[in-house]
Amino acid sequence: MTGNPHILVVDDDAEIRSLLARYLGGQGFRVTTAQDRRECLARVADAPPDLIVLDVMLPDGTGLEICRGLQDQRPRIPVILLTALKEDVDRIVGLEIGADDYLGKPFNPRELTARIRAVLRRSGGDEPPQPAGSYLFAGFRVLPDQRRVVAGGADIDLTGAEFDLLMAFLVRPGRVLSRDLLLDLTQGRDRDPLDRSIDVLMSRLRRKLATDAVPAVFKTVRNGGYQLAVPVAVEAPGP
């Protein structure tokens, strides 16, 4: 990414669009807005943003439908969903279909800004690649500097949140990691007692990394959390 990150704010509330456009613009972002699904898709086709802040409820569809449709977009566009506080089901479904984070309404614009920066960091969108080695486990090769997971010469398509979750285990091989610790490591926030985001991400990651040879890469530890159940080898970066 060069220049200021481009953020697309999609919300049918004109006051919220105006507030976020002013605030995020003052934080160094380039901001465009859309009021509904049709306008959002037109904006994406015209000039793909670096991240979309997407309201779940829109007058001509849902943010979940948009999020699902964006999964085939390349390069993939990170999404932060805006949901009403009681829309827990929508949050879970959003994470399952590829959203990178969510924020309940009403929200503080400062928290949204922090979430945007965190997601951009996870997606590699606001910092240059750093030299790193690679991690080998269960037939997979993980290249942290490129944020890639490769198996049999083919890339495994992970979201930014899924990749960060995997890295939390790879740099701590064999350790049992609690849900609270995983949430802090991957999303930089404390866990709400009803927050199921880590469980949803673990379920997606398990499904994407399951193979005939190693069907269970991760182990669930009762009252403990999760553990990477296979050996990890680390290759030093080349000269």
Q: Tell me: domain 134-235, CATH 1.10.10.10, correct?
A: yes
Cβ 74 vs Cβ 94: under 8 Å: no
Is residue 179 very low, low, confident or very high in pLDDT (cuts 50, 70, 90)? confident
Mean pLDDT of 210-226: 85
The pLDDT assigned to 127 comes to 44
What does pLDDT average to over the chain?
83
The pLDDT assigned to 64 comes to 84
| Residues of each domain in the chain carrying CATH 1.10.10.10 | 134-235
User: Which CATH class for the 6-122 domain?
Assistant: alpha beta
Please give the model's pTM, rounded to 2 decimal places: 0.58
Mean pLDDT of 68-76: 75
Structure tokens given for 214: 């190693």
| Residues of each domain in the chain carrying CATH 3.40.50.2300 | 6-122
Give the Cβ contact number of residue 62 at 10 Å: 17
The pLDDT assigned to 130 comes to 44
Mean pLDDT of 172-193: 73
The pLDDT assigned to 132 comes to 57
Does residue 21 have a pLDDT over 80?
A: yes
Is residue 213 very low, low, confident or very high in pLDDT (cuts 50, 70, 90)? confident
